[in-house]
Amino acid sequence: MDFEKHQNLHTIVMLRDVIRKWWRLELTFADKHGGVQDWQRAEGVAPPNDFCRHSLSSKEGLRRCGQSVRVLHEKFKASKTHRRALFHDCHLNFCIVGAPLYIGQDYEGFLFVEGFARQPLGPSDAEATRARLGMPPERTGAEPRVPVLDASEQSKLADLLEFVVNELARQEQTLPSLSSELSDRFRFEQIIGRSGPMMEVFRLMEKVAHSDSTVLINGESGTGKELVARAIHHNGPRQDKPFVVQNCSAFNDNLLESALFGHTRGAFTGALREKKGLFEVADGGTFFLDEVGDMSPALQVKLLRVLQEGTFLPVGGTQLKEVDVRVIAATHKDLGELVKRGEFREDLFYRINVIRLQLPPLRERRDDLPVLIDHFLRKHHRPGQQARGLAPDALGILGAYTWPGNIRELENEIERLLVLGGDQDTIPGDLLSSRIRDAVVPGGGPFVAPRAHGKLHEAVEALEREMIHQGLVRTRNNKSRLARELGISRSNLILKIARYGLNKGLPDDLDDPDEE
């Protein structure tokens, strides 16, 4: 079992989110040999505090941290029957807790969280830790903050880890297809989404990746057309051959023609020597024709010929050339409509519209916002940045915005937020671009959740969010009680709270763990 594959699993994304928001800690995986791949890559991991950060940044420190992980690993391996979470104190006296993952009888590694203290660090503790790490003394007296988890918090964290490993094991066992589905999902790892419309896209992608048929990708600007085209190529039989991209609206007709099909020497003024066209460059591989709706009628004829016969004539040439190219075409336009208006050849339309992948705009898959935000926060996180998430008001505004620029706009916004607010733990809503803020809260007032309207599932979600929110206030954040009232499990409630970003500004959890 490859934990890499699990990074985008709903359960893991939610768990990571909960752990970040509640305890400001990070979830990490150790494989069945006790290795931590996140640390090897040293990217995207945000150590929980500056001491750990310091330790992980040196070879010796990394070795010591690895030892602590190995202690847990050895214990888990030693006893196949022990499937509960275990704690261990590391070389810096911080705590690490892990829960082993078994698929059937096989030990597959463990999930863990490290770098928290059991009680607040006094100045002398901090000084001792500094000395142990060879860190210079802090002159301002402002010691790094170390998350502190008392006994009850520790047991909640352990419960949560156990719950998730059991859940992963259950999914893996009860759904025999999950492994293969996971590996398929992993193959499209860069394409984030778990909403219904995206699942549909993944299913179709899986089918077409193995075939050689022409694909038409339809979607608004910034919905991931090129990303999807690349993924289809890289997961299909042509993956070792070239993937060539040409945007058909970028050039005038003559230039586009010679770019696509090449030209002979002297074909036109300035054609000093023969030049290969991109179709030839793409031979054996895949050609991504972007904005195919902008192609002139003359070039449409030439394209149709390549598609039907695999042959074309270079500009100025007299001899047909033969190529074996898979074409993936994309457009944000409605090609059927262009055909009706006589702007696109009907025969070409039918030839490229064999399989159509319709990419949903972001506003139709709002379920994906949290995972996308999480993905872009990880993608654009730079060493030294603290930020682990967005504040609830920022999430609320992003959730209410209509995203005309789609995922590209979201990605740019998250990147910008990290630049402006990356030094804060959670990035507040007032750092959002005014374009986005003003569209959602005109006049710059506080963000108030919009009334439920539109699609049924959105209305249901809005109601669910509201019920949980009010319930949390009413029960003074007693999650066991609220879960009982709502008729769901406490763990499920915890995941929902994180999903809706409801875990800020509430009184401390008054849960009595014995109550359960």
Task: Give the Cα separation of 228 and 231 in Å (integer).
Answer: 5
Our CA angle for 412, 418, 423, nearest 5°, is 170
Which is closer to ligand ATP, CB of 338 or CB of 488? 338
Stretch binding Mg ion (CB under 5 A), from 158-166, 223-231, 255-263, 478-486: 223-231
227: contact with ligand ATP by CB under 6 A: yes
With tokens 């998250």, the residue in question is 414
Q: How are beta strands 275-276 and 262-263 bridged, if at all?
A: antiparallel
Minimal distance in Å, beta carbon 226 to Mg ion? 4
Q: Token pair for residue 176?
A: 């025999």
Nearer to ligand ATP, 204 or 452 (CB): 204
Using CA atoms, how far residue 274 sits from 170, 267, 393, in Å, is 61, 8, 59
Q: Which is nearer to Mg ion, 226 or 464 (CB)?
A: 226
Select from 3-11, 166-174, 224-232, 253-261 the region that touches Mg ion (CB under 5 A). Answer: 224-232
| Minimum CB distance to ligand ATP smaller for 99 or for 191 | 191
Taking CB under 5 A as the binding criterion, the range among 226-234, 238-246, 302-310, 428-436 that sits at the site for Mg ion is: 226-234
Radius of gyration of the chain (CA): 27
Neighbours of 129 (CB within 10 A): 24
Could you say whether residue 192 binds ligand ATP (CB under 6 A)?
yes
Q: Which does 219 bind (CB under 5 to 8 A by kind): Mg ion, ligand ATP, none?
A: ligand ATP
Tell me which amino acid residue 130 is: R
- Output the six-digit token pair for 324: 């074996």
233 Cβ contact partners less than 8 Å away, ≥ 6 residues apart: 239, 243, 285, 286, 288, 326, 328
227 binds, among ligand ATP, Mg ion, none (CB under 5 to 8 A by kind): ligand ATP
Of residues 297-336, those binding ligand ATP (CB under 6 A) = 332
- Interaction between residue 246 and ligand ATP (CB under 6 A): no
Give Cα 487 distance to the centre of its chain: 31
The answer to whether 191 and 360 have CB atoms below 8 angstroms apart is no
Residue with tokens 């009888």: 105
Burial group, residue 487, by CB count within 10 angstroms (0-12, 13-18, 19+):
exposed
- Applying CB under 6 A, which of residues 48, 61, 98, 193 lies at the interface with ligand ATP? 193
Nearer to ligand ATP, 193 or 392 (CB): 193
* Cβ atoms of 505 and 473 closer than 8 Å: no
Write the binding mask 371 to 410 for ligand ATP: x where contact by CB under 6 A, - elsewhere.
----x-------------------------------xx--
Interface with ligand ATP (CB under 6 A), residue total 16
* Identified binder of ligand ATP from the candidate list 47, 66, 219, 236, rule CB under 6 A: 219
Q: Residue 290 belongs to what H/E stretch?
A: strand 286-290
Tokens of 128: 């001792």
- From candidates 162, 206, 226, 274, binder to Mg ion by CB under 5 A: 226
* CB-nearer residue toward Mg ion: 249 or 402: 249
Per CB under 6 A, does 411 bind ligand ATP? yes
361 binds ligand ATP per the rule CB under 6 A: no
Is residue 152 classed as helix, strand or coil in its secondary structure?
Answer: helix
Residue 183 vs 221, nearer CB to Mg ion: 221
| Binding site residues, Mg ion, CB under 5 A | 226
| Binding site residues, ligand ATP, CB under 6 A | 191-193, 219, 221-227, 332, 375, 407-408, 411
